């Protein structure tokens, strides 16, 4: 797997590589072509490009990139291995801290995490950490690489994991590496949670999820899909049959902002729209999520996060006649990834700022437009603006989705419906994981969006892994 490093006169031991080579390795497909399909936007990078880009790393004594990452990935260490062409060793090191590196490389907002913290970001362009992580892991999985777990001793302990999203997968992978048998239950027909059903294929093709599922099954993780706890199987059964339980059920309840007119025909909830689209493309039989085709429609998406970007870019690919993303503050205030906003602009999405939605207008046939109020304090604050539309997608984020069996089990929740867990001792506080993952029920742990609220994939993974550590400590493994 070693590349020819000297073809482009790259020396992996040259500490001034960052002066000779610019930030690169993240080539995109042409926007005029990609806007008509749901294939991934970013192209695979050549081996020499990965080596060259990794060689730009300064190997800082205090690696800010590593500490900005919620998983504290060994970024400078595996960049050094990639720079030397040692791709498999790099993939092995990536997996020591992250069970889903090829997915994080695709969907993490590196521009707000590791790459933002890169020392070279002060004027030379950050190392393209995410693209390297994605490409190296893809190569390893394509070559059927698996970690050597031959020395792992089975403990005889079993853990039931409810939810096959990033938190549940993070928990399961670390448990199985330590001899604990994880059995993962999920109500959906495939693993991944919102990775599979909420994130469009142009960011994460679903073949990537299927490869990861095979990997996890090969190392000993068992999945029981199409199984809803509380309906197909009682939670008490899990308590009786397993040594511990981890809950990683995510947040699926949309926040509609109580916007007037939100129940009109033609108003879509962002997650229902996105899941329906994936359901259609992948031929999953999920009757609760019908497909909505916006071809020829005038579409307005309300919101400024990554989910809003997923919606506008999906509508473009469905050949909507126009797609507008309208946000109440400035572009810099938008909480989503900057690179996703840029991708949306390249694909023809129109952005309008400083408008607060007041009411969705409709007639007997459905949506006709939205009344807005200007929020810019310098230019006509309070002025009313009408923008016509055929469909409105509300992307104001998500709230917790408590199961109806939480109360009977004694699971405590806060005022927003999030599961509450025990506090860590003051001496062990971590700014990223500031609390324990143990619920107030002995032997039951929880993590991810259902505890933290809607957040990043990488923070959900981190909480799942922390829960696995706490479970093993409780089981005295």
For position 17, what pLDDT does the model report? 81
* Residue the block writes with tokens 């002995």: 442
Task: Report the SS3 class of residue 234.
Answer: coil
For position 142, what pLDDT does the model report? 97
Contacts of 386 (CB under 8 A, 6+ apart): 361, 369, 370, 371, 372
For position 9, what pLDDT does the model report? 52
Q: What is the rounded distance in angstroms from the CA atom of residue 122 to the CA atom of residue 103? A: 27
Helix (H) or strand (E) holding 237: helix 235-241
For position 5, what pLDDT does the model report? 41
- pLDDT per residue, tens digit, the chain (477 aa), is 444 443 445 677 777 787 788 898 689 999 999 999 999 999 999 999 999 999 999 999 899 999 999 999 999 999 999 999 999 999 999 999 999 999 999 999 999 999 999 999 999 999 999 999 999 999 999 999 999 999 999 999 999 999 999 999 999 999 999 999 999 999 999 999 999 999 999 999 999 999 999 999 999 999 999 999 999 999 999 999 999 999 999 999 999 999 999 999 999 999 999 999 999 999 998 888 999 999 999 999 999 999 999 999 999 999 999 999 999 999 999 998 999 999 999 999 999 999 999 999 999 999 999 999 999 766 667 789 999 999 999 999 998 889 999 999 999 999 999 999 997 765 566 677 777 999 999 999 999 999 999 999 999 999 999 999 999 999 999
* 270-282 helix and 306-317 helix, angle to the nearest 10 degrees: 50
The whole model's pTM is what?
Answer: 0.93
Contact 357, 370 (CB under 8 A): yes
Give me the phi and psi of 171, to 5 degrees please.
-65, -50
Q: What is the rounded distance in angstroms from the CA atom of residue 388 to the CA atom of residue 220? A: 54
For position 376, what pLDDT does the model report? 78
Cβ-based burial of 382 (10 A; exposed 0-12, middle 13-18, buried ≥19):
exposed
Helix (H) or strand (E) holding 66: helix 64-68
Instruction: Give the dihedral sign, CA 58/60/65/69.
Output: positive
* Residue the block writes with tokens 């104001």: 396
Domains located in the chain, CATH noted: 17-142 (1.10.1060.10), 158-252+407-474 (3.50.50.60), 255-396 (3.50.50.60)
**Strands of the 222-224 sheet, one edge to the other:** 222-224, 181-185, 158-162, 244-247, 444-446
3-state helix, strand, coil in the chain (%, to 5): 35, 15, 45
């Amino acid at each position: 797997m070693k590349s020819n490093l000297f073809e482009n006169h790259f020396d992996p031991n040259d500490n001034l590589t960052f002066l000779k080579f610019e930030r690169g390795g993240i080539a995109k497909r042409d926007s005029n072509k990609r806007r008509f399909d749901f294939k991934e936007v970013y192209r695979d990078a050549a081996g020499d490009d990965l080596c060259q880009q990794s060689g730009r790393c300064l190997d800082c004594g205090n690696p800010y990139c590593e500490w900005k990452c919620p998983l504290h990935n060994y970024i400078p260490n595996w960049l050094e291995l990639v720079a030397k062409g040692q791709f498999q060793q790099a993939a092995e090191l990536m997996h020591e801290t992250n069970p889903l590196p090829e997915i994080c490389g695709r969907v993490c907002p590196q521009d707000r995490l590791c790459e933002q913290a890169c020392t070279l970001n002060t004027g030379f362009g950050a190392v393209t950490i995410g693209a390297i992580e994605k490409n190296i892991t893809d190569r390893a999985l394509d070559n059927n690489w698996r970690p050597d777990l031959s020395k792992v001793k089975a403990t005889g302990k079993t853990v039931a994991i409810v939810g096959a999203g990033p938190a549940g997968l993070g928990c399961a992978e670390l448990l199985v590496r330590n001899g604990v048998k994880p059995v993962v239950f999920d109500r959906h027909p495939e693993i991944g949670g919102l990775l599979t059903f909420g994130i469009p294929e142009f960011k994460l093709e679903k073949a990537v999820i299927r490869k990861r599922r095979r990997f996890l099954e090969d190392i000993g993780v068992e999945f029981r899909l199409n199984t809803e706890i509380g309906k197909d199987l009682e939670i008490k059964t899990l308590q009786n049959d397993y040594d511990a339980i981890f809950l990683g059920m995510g947040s699926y309840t949309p926040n509609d902002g109580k916007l007037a007119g939100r129940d009109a025909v033609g108003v879509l909830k962002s997650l229902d729209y996105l899941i329906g689209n994936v359901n259609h493309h992948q031929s999953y039989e999920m009757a609760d999520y019908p497909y909505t085709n916006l071809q020829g429609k005038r579409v307005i998406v309300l919101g400024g996060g990554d989910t809003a970007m997923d919606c506008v870019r999906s509508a473009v690919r469905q050949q909507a006649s126009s797609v507008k993303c309208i946000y109440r503050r400035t572009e810099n205030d938008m909480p989503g990834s900057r690179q996703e906003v840029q991708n949306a602009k390249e694909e023809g999405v129109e952005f309008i700022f400083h408008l607060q939605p007041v009411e969705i207008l409709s007639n007997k046939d459905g949506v006709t437009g939205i009344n807005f109020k200007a929020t810019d304090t310098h230019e006509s604050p309070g002025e009313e603006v009408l923008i016509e539309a055929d469909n409105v997608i509300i992307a104001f984020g998500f709230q917790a989705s408590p199961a109806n069996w939480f109360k009977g089990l004694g699971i405590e929740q806060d005022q927003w419906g999030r599961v509450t867990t025990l506090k860590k001792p003051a001496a062990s506080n971590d700014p990223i994981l500031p609390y324990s993952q143990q619920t107030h029920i002995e032997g039951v742990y929880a993590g991810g969006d259902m505890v933290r609220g809607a957040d990043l994939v990488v923070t959900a993974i981190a909480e799942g892994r922390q829960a696995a550590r706490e479970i093993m400590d409780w089981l005295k493994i």
